[in-house]
Amino acid sequence: MRRPIGILAVVAAACLSASCDENLSTIAGPTPALTPTFSSIQRDIFASTDSTGRLACSGCHTSVNRVPAGGLNLTGDLAYEQLVNVASARKAGAIRVVPGDPDNSYIIQKIEGRSGIVGVRMPLTPPYLSDGQITIIRRWIETGAARN
């Protein structure tokens, strides 16, 4: 009876190390290189094209040839500064990214299309982000939303 417990302990210990992050690539779906860091989320989601070839976020959330949609610029250095601990432009009391608290981060509520959001689920039109992509963004927030 001892052996299975020992194996479980080894697996649990492995998950505390980097190997659990490697497993994330299996859930990252259309963006296999996605990791829970801000630079990866920006490169592999915000500035990337989705399965239809459309820029997932940064075609609208940019100041190039337009006013950023929703008052939110997700390009370049501005993205982090406009997300973390910054109030929503439209929903009173909402904060775009609350470090350590994905459920109360408005960006999560918007990409999950939760009830109570102002406006519509993001991206503005489907395809939406996959569950795995959202899990990875959640994890970046959960672990402190570092500028990493």
* Contact positions vs ligand HEC (CB under 6 A): 45, 56-57, 59-61, 69-72, 88-91, 96, 106-107, 110-111, 118-120, 122-124, 129
- 3-class secondary structure, 96: coil
Smallest separation (angstroms) from ligand HEC to the CB of 68: 9
Q: Which is nearer to ligand HEC, 123 or 132 (CB)?
A: 123
In the bound state with ligand HEC, the residue whose beta carbon lies nearer, of 91 and 143, is: 91
- DSSP state letters, 125-146: SSSPPPHHHHHHHHHHHHTT--
Q: Cis omega before residue 32 (within 30°)? A: no
Q: Taking a C-beta distance cutoff of 8 angstroms, is the pair 141, 37 a contact?
A: no
Dist. CA 126–CA 135, nearest whole Å: 18
Give me the amino acid identity at 117. Answer: I
Other CB atoms within 10 Å distance of the CB of residue 72: 23
Longest pairwise C-alpha distance within the chain: 66
Q: Which residue is nearest to ligand HEC (CB)?
A: 119
Question: Which C-beta is closer to ligand HEC: that of 10 or that of 64?
Answer: 64
Nearest distance from residue 111's CB to ligand HEC, in Å? Answer: 5
Nearer to ligand HEC, 27 or 60 (CB): 60
The least distance separating ligand HEC from the CB of residue 25, rounded to whole angstroms, comes to 19
**CB 124, min distance to ligand HEC, A:** 4
